[in-house]
Amino acid sequence: MSIFEDKTVVVTGGTGSLGKTLVRRLLGGEKGTPRKIIVFSRDEAKQHEMRLMFQNRSVTTDEVIYRNFMQRLEFRIGDVRDYRDVCSVLKNADIVINAAALKQVPTCEYFPMQAVMTNVTGASNIVQAITENDYPVQTVVGVSTDKACKPVNVMGMTKSLQEKILLSANVLNKDTRFVCVRYGNVLASRGSVIPLFRNQILHGGPVTVTLPEMTRFLLSLNEAVDTVFEAVEWALPGDTVVPRAFSATVFNIARALIGDRDIEVCSTGIRPGEKMHEILISEEEAYYTIPHGDYFSIRSSLPELSGIQAQPKLLEKEFSSADTVLDLPGTIELLNKHGLLASSRSEYDVQSELLR
């Protein structure tokens, strides 16, 4: 289905790991060729690096720097915290994917108001800009996290509020469809545990895990983008789309990356704001959850949006990362499937030589 054909797509926070993969696939045209893709973020250095990457350039020239607004892939400096910036970038948009976020748990714990301004006020600015100015935006997708489900940390709390702000916007704005996606840890994304483990292995260890039995949902960057595409394609107003993801213990992830190297794994204990197991669908949300192929769709509990009454639970319990835990061979197979073991080993071999 050509859901992006001739559309103007805005990706807030588009220089992040998800944004780069999303933009690459949008440019590939697998779901239709967009008229324009606008990367909206506040870091000019990351935008310039991304511009060079997508133009296959290694050095800067006037041709690279200028003609920005003449390209299909356009870069805009701005901040979702600033209502005027948001208005400027959304006024001609058809589809908005809100990937802008403060997402590191420790950062949000230490600077909660900064997390509120990006994750909460940013979402509110998007809703307000569309509603007050009657912008003809067709779909807004909010990118959320398993930490938003029964949150215990600031990052999860602010992401949960982002979900509520976006999804409730459907009640008073019938011309724009607001939906969310919610998923777990994205493999090898910036700030995730795999780059940390790789660096520790590269330097001979030890590899530090919080608690060996702690579990996390695992998703590749492409699977995260697939979830966004699915939401754009079929989600109803107020829906939250959740992939049926596998999980693994952090200990098995470390062992899979270490392989046969003689490197110690040690436990550092649970950190502030962390859960032993993450949740993608709460027990309460199970009453509003509908299966959809490889995904679940959580319908809004608001009666104006749900279209269904609370029903016998599809799930017997909450959908927890403790439910679908892969053993070590399964974890190795999953990481191999996404090319994370072969690439890491060749990287270690080369860089280890340089460190000797």
Helix (H), strand (E) at residue 112: helix 112-115
Residues ≥6 apart with Cβ < 8 Å to 151:
157, 159, 160
Residue 2 domain-assigned? no
Q: What integer pLDDT is reported at residue 62 of this predicted model?
A: 47
The residue range of the domain holding 167 is: 8-355
Active-site position among 7, 103, 147, 159: 147
In a domain, 3, yes or no: no
Express each pLDDT in 138-190 by its tens digit.
Answer: 999 999 999 999 999 999 999 999 999 999 999 999 999 999 999 998 887 77
311 occurs within a structural domain: yes
CATH number of the domain to which 61 belongs? 3.40.50.720
Q: Is residue 45 classed exposed, middle or buried when 0-12, 13-18 and 19+ CB atoms within 10 A define those classes?
A: exposed
Segment (H or E) for 94: none
Is the per-residue pLDDT at 109 higher than 50?
yes
> How crowded is residue 109: how many other Cβ atoms within 10 Å of its Cβ?
16
- Look at the chain and count its residues: 356
Summarize pLDDT for 55-72 with one digit per residue, the tens. Answer: 876 554 445 566 776 688
Instruction: Please tell me the predicted confidence (pLDDT) of residue 179.
Output: 98
In a domain, residue 1? The reply is no
Find out whether 177 and 329 touch, Cβ atoms under 8 Å: no
Confidence (pLDDT) at 252: 94
- pLDDT score of 316: 77
169: nearest Cα among 230, 238, 231: 238
Separation of CA 245 from chain center: 14
Per-residue pLDDT tens digits for 287-334 = 899 999 999 999 999 988 876 555 666 777 899 999 989 999 999 999
For residue 244, give every residue at least 6 positions away whose Cβ sits within 8 Å of its Cβ, in sequence order, or none. Answer: 294, 295, 296
7 catalytic, yes or no?
no
CA 239 to CA 87: how far, in whole Å?
Answer: 25
Question: Stretch 274-285: mean pLDDT, rounded?
Answer: 94
Residues 94-111, mean pLDDT to the nearest whole number: 96
**Percent of the chain topping pLDDT 70:** 90
- What pLDDT is stored for residue 106 in this prediction? 92
Q: What is the pLDDT of residue 254?
A: 92
At 179 the three-state DSSP class reads strand
Least confident of 7-16, 32-41, 81-90, 259-268: 259-268
Which pLDDT value is given to residue 356?
A: 36
pLDDT of residue 187: 84
**Domain assignment of residue 162, yes or no:** yes
Query: What tokens does 207 get?
Result: 């590899």
Residue 232 confidence (pLDDT): 98
Report the domain count for the chain: 1
